Structure 1
């Protein structure tokens, strides 16, 4: 049986799920018996499937524990941010002022993270960026956002070790092709920083607009003398770029930011991406019992392989649960909650996770190679991000001293400068 609930959008949700508290809550916020969690994700538009992966990951964990965090009934209130910063802000304000949530989670693009963090400060409400990876939320601007605790990652974090790895493979010259917005700048900036620190050269930087479908104006400009191409694509761009690159006959090695080959889009890709290498803190092909069980449960529940968007929000729910265990299911107040969440350490689906002093995760970074094979007991050959190297306990500052790292500007379209470009 189904019933119609409104959570900013109109959703059809099984009554059994609503009974667990995953739906629109009503009445005043409970101090002990009820934990009201707002969630802003793109549920319509070009990023809608990512939004579903985000909310599905969180809801799956809540379902697993019976909708109850250490005695606190979870009320999960979902709002559609459409991937647009101004709409994200309005929805977050609505969640706090009208729905009386004790925290809000979400935001997809780095730009939405930068937009949502000031809301948390202004309204003195916990904000958990589970996906929004904007570097400065937990770096140069962290002191402005005392209610922000990140459970995901910074954009540059996986790409610092990735740049070092590229040097180890003998690559000398790389062309970067990345979506022209904050996330693209920070991902490519992190790679460029470490790649050039170990002797490599970025010889060209190409910036297609976010949402580009036709890469015809960009692919022919890729310099012939590059050893490899580093790409950062998001959403549908991830599907189109490698197809068009292959169609153009370019056979250079391709490296990519993690979202370029995330499991959100990987099943829709073809053999053209086999051999492409990326870096991220999660892979559905991670060969551990904990991840194998997670992939099996998620696939049974939602009919697809979990993406990093799913895992990050599943782990976020787990971390919130750990805090509520410490408080006996009682809401401790925003300041204390931030303190407790920042102290959580756990063995999660992605591996060991803890937070640094600026409230950003320290976790493994996996170098992943796209392969077609059987995995986790499934009988058919499928595309998987096979882990070929693990960098343990990677912080947002990589091997740099924090003070020195924070003296440099945030990665941008112009930093690091393309000093080897012609």
Structure 2
């Protein structure tokens, strides 16, 4: 499966919980043709991407994205078990190649089984180190109900963006998890232990627990488990996932994974630079443009060209999100060919839209100002009358007015540091 398609599928699966800007993840495929990239941007950004809250990579790294070439055991069905994952947050130029195959898919399964505290592990899917994304998944049963569980291994830049994002607790205002800790271990590794839900609005009772380890050598080990035979679409089989957080920690910190990780080529050193698609880093710019008269920022986050802030003026919380993308001139027709569109004297197109929220929160409204400059720089700013779209409205309208959203989107600061 092409990289962009794996990312798209992954984000569609995880968009209800945790996600980031889809297009920022595939912009590095620009050598395949700027027009193709622009079309992908339109599809991604005009959909649900601007309704999603970025967190530090937690839910953007989930199971079920094995694109083929997996070893199967016990008649595994991809629909009923999660699969090894590669992170959609990882940029294409940072993706390392396959190893020499020193650890086979069957050995990955055997190692995983040996680290489980008894019980059975069936319906397995796995990849060895002849893949760039080795991993294993299946159904674990300790006698209290079958549960989907999966592990993935990858090499990342030590102490780089991925390491930070994958081991950083998300904003609880946005994701509503039960618990999350991020600690530095004695060897310098960073460990994240997380207990949350497949859907932050808890529309079903499916729980998602995970453990993620990023080491100073650039090893990334990630384990996810559910209290259901599948991430989505199956009823829960037990009150909680089977492994405790302590057992998850033991699993990801085990040195038995080092043989596989050492067989993978090391990731390239991370190069400092602007946002993922060549645009500016959105977070600092958004914060600098927010009004501060009686308004507090009670939550914030983002990655690359995407950022969000949760504002509170004492009358209810309000979520604001921004996405900045250079090189979007080819998408002008698709993005600004209809609706409430005006063209400013300098040629900048401005589109205003007000509509209901799409994440299920009662009474949520969504206001958006979408702008496209003549040089192709696109900045989209959205605001909601809630701090979390999965929760009911906390005020009648978003805290920021349409004119304030326009001022943010049209600020010249978005042109500073943007590459093309």
Q: TM-score range by the shorter chain?
A: under 0.3
| TM-score of the two chains, using structure 1 as the length reference | 0.25
Q: Relative CO higher for 1 or 2, CA cutoff 8 Å, sep ≥ 6?
A: 1
TM-score (norm 2): 0.25
